[in-house]
Structure 1
């Protein structure tokens, strides 16, 4: 993927205040789509320096990904990882594939932001963000319950996350 061209397209969308179209362009350009994706909508902006995206909808039902209007004011690699995180939730909540436990969904999504197993086309984020996302993955892992079946299921991935964090400069 030519990031220079992607940024040019995104700048054009931003210039015309076509934020939802820009988000859809990313979904198409980076092959992030899924049948359970119901589209994008707007949510309140947190601040000029932080963002929050959410996948909203009933488990087993279509999911809307809610984005702030200032989404494209942030680094493209970070934006792509945030969108991919939510698109993984879209898949996790799809009929026949529902992952009911929120801690499991979040652990999987933060793990994906670090290792890009589902979306290998998504670029890596900065070491700062890897450390942050790794910390979030471990937080959700710990919430699964000490030595629970879920923790046992993800023990190997937890070790991968810890190793990554410990090898960051």
Structure 2
């Protein structure tokens, strides 16, 4: 695998050429994020610095499209890589073999991976600022699962890990 600076240079070249989808495709291949359930990327409206929206779209059990902002690569590459990873986790969660129907559980798993990179250790870590932001998003979804539910119990150890992370990066 190429180094992060090499990836950054290649992505910047794609960006300068207006090839946002090619840059995103390059990154999921370079970082081993591919999935047979992934149908492809489509562009959406430009993102603002305070809000970058990527979504995974498609019926559960069917191939998924990821919509990314046309200006995705105007933002820090380590952050965009983590957001792409988040969406590729959703692609996996929506396969017939790995189907997770509960949206709260899907979001919890994707945010948790952004914080700890257990499945994808090759993806660069986020800054403490972004870890705090995404940890709080993860906890929002954990809380939406419902107090004392099977999902709360299933993810209790991971929740403790998120709580500890927040304490250590404050």
- Shared fold (TM-score, shorter chain, > 0.5): yes
The aligned residue for residue 73 of structure 1 is 74
Any unmatched runs of 5+ in structure 1? none
- Asked if residue 114 in structure 1 is aligned to residue 91 in structure 2, the reply is no
Q: Kindly report structure 1 stretches of 4+ aligned residues shifted beyond 3 Å.
A: none
Structure 2 residue 142 is matched with structure 1 residue 148:
no
Instruction: Report the TM-score when normalising by structure 2.
Output: 0.97
Q: Which consecutive unaligned segments of at least 5 residues does structure 2 have?
A: none
Q: Which residue of 2 aligns with 1:40?
A: 41
Q: Which residue of 2 aligns with 1:28?
A: 29
Q: Is the 8 A contact 1:48 1:70 kept in 2?
A: no
- Which residue of 1 is the match for residue 127 of structure 2? 126
After superposition, the CA RMSD in angstroms is 0.9
1:114-162: CA deviations, max 9, x gaps? 0011111111101000000000111000000111010000000000000
Question: Aligned pairs, how many?
Answer: 169
State the secondary structure of the residue aligned to 2:148.
coil
